[in-house]
Amino acid sequence: MDARPAGKRTAGKHNLASTVFLPLSALCLAAPVTLAQESEDGPTAQERTAAVEPSVGPLEEVIVFGRGIALLGTAEAASEGSVGGADLLVKPMLRTADLLEAVPGMVAVQHSGSGKANQYFLRGFNLDHGTDFTTYVDGVPWNFRSHGHGQGYLDINGLLPEIVDRLDYRKGTYRADVGDFAMAAASFITTIDRLDASFVALESGHRGWGRLAAGGTTELGDGTLTALGEFKTYDGPWERPEGLEHTSVWAKYLRQMNFGDLSFTLSGYEGDWHPTEQIPERAIGTSVCANAFCSLDPTAGGNTSRWIGGLQLAGSDWDASAYLQYYDWYMQSNPTYDLQINQFDKRWTAGGRYDRTAFATERFELTIGGEFRYDDIGPVGVEEISLKTKSRKVRSAFMPKRAGPHMTDSGCSRAPAPTITRLT
């Protein structure tokens, strides 16, 4: 507490006011005089600025567009949203997984080449290859319940960017309608019904990049048929060219029915690539590895064959879908340089989904439904090849009897044990 008398404190305040406001008052009084003097002696500051600045011609038109989607009452949380396909195509895409990066906080990185499923991170958490992130395309789940590389394996390399009409996403464990693999987030991709115009696109770039894509829409019977396809190649900066050969096709037939919409879709993807795997840091700069792009193991490679046929029905208050999928995948790698790993997965999958809005008001909505899936699994597992003994060992696998004891019918033994230059 201030021990000074009240009168002295008041006087102190008066002195402070005098100190601050008197110079300001003098400055304000002097300002008109200064301005008047400038007017008498020569041009004002505004006139001098105008003389220096160049004349401004007509401005170039800039178009800024956005997508306004009324999510009030539809989105159950702030972590849900939608992104239009047109918004996704305005930015360059280095890989197909860039589509999923439209989900806020999602990062999709590449590992083991351009043909393998990406590794996903959401809000900084590692979701591996899709273990905690599920994706549906026109009602068809693209994650694998089991896989030769990892549970929940999500490979969207066969998805053509031009067919995406919108992407709906939601993050968090707040819904029970998608079940497994949606612990962190889920995305739902809806494809286009038609193209406004036919197109042909040809791209060429550095390091063996090339892409040829084409598509169009035509009336067929009482419906509309839309088809697209692409072929692309890429070698990358690696010492051993990646040699990516990627082919994707997609078609959709849409017809209006009495109950709503009926559509058939066909999606096909064939990919072959030779990745450059991780290398020990101490190898860089040696005689066997000139730089970080060297390839110590020339035998790494992989190929994927995936075909999906789907049926979608949509009514006023219900949706139904069914699908049939064929899948054949194989990849070989050698991360430790003494034990080659061959991974394989071959299967047929059939499934379907049904949702109906049973009751809906402005404040409450009840949706019921179900989903089924059946996987007819062929050979799936991991095979190890010792570089010392040249022996093969199946570490973990599911092999039906029809595949034979040595997987000779599956085509999984596609490469001999590699010969690798060793570091000393």
**How far apart are alpha carbons 246 and 417 in whole angstroms?**
26
Rounded distance between C-alpha atoms, residue 396 and residue 404, angstroms: 16
- Quote the CA–CA distance of 185 and 178 in Å, as a whole number: 10
Per-residue confidence (pLDDT) for residue 49, from 0 to 100:
56
pLDDT of residue 28 exceeding 50 = no
In this prediction, residues 22-42 reach a mean pLDDT of 45
pLDDT in tens, 7-24: 444 444 444 444 444 444
- The residue that leads in pLDDT, 37 or 68, is 68
Residue of higher predicted confidence among 7 and 395:
395
Please count the other Cβ atoms lying within 10 Å of the Cβ belonging to residue 194: 13
pLDDT exceeds 50 at position 118: yes
* Structure tokens belonging to residue 420: 């690798």
321 neighbors 352 (Cβ within 8 angstroms): yes
pLDDT higher than threshold 90 for residue 378: no
Give the per-residue pLDDT at 174.
Answer: 74
Whether 410 shows a pLDDT value over 80: the answer reads no
Domains within the chain, CATH numbers bracketed: 80-403 (2.40.170.20)
The answer to whether the CB of 105 falls within 8 A of the CB of 123 is yes
pLDDT higher than threshold 60 for residue 421? no
Q: Cα separation of 284 and 89, whole Å?
A: 38
How high is the pLDDT of residue 54?
A: 59
Average pLDDT over residues 348-360: 94
Q: For residues 286 and 227, what is the distance between their CA atoms, to the nearest angstrom?
A: 50
Exposure string over 215-241, b if 16+ CB within 10 A, otherwise e: bebeeeeebbbbbbebebbbbbebebb
Q: What is the pTM of this model?
A: 0.75
CB 261 within 8 A of CB 284: no
User: Which parts of 192-293 are beta strand (E)?
Assistant: 199-204, 210-220, 223-234, 244-256, 261-273
pLDDT value of residue 50: 55
Q: Residue 418 above 70 pLDDT?
A: no
Once rounded to an integer, what is the mean pLDDT over residues 101-107? Answer: 88
Q: Are 108 and 120 in contact (CB under 8 A)?
A: yes
What pLDDT, on a 0 to 100 scale, did the predictor assign at position 68? 59
Cα 88–chain centre separation: 10
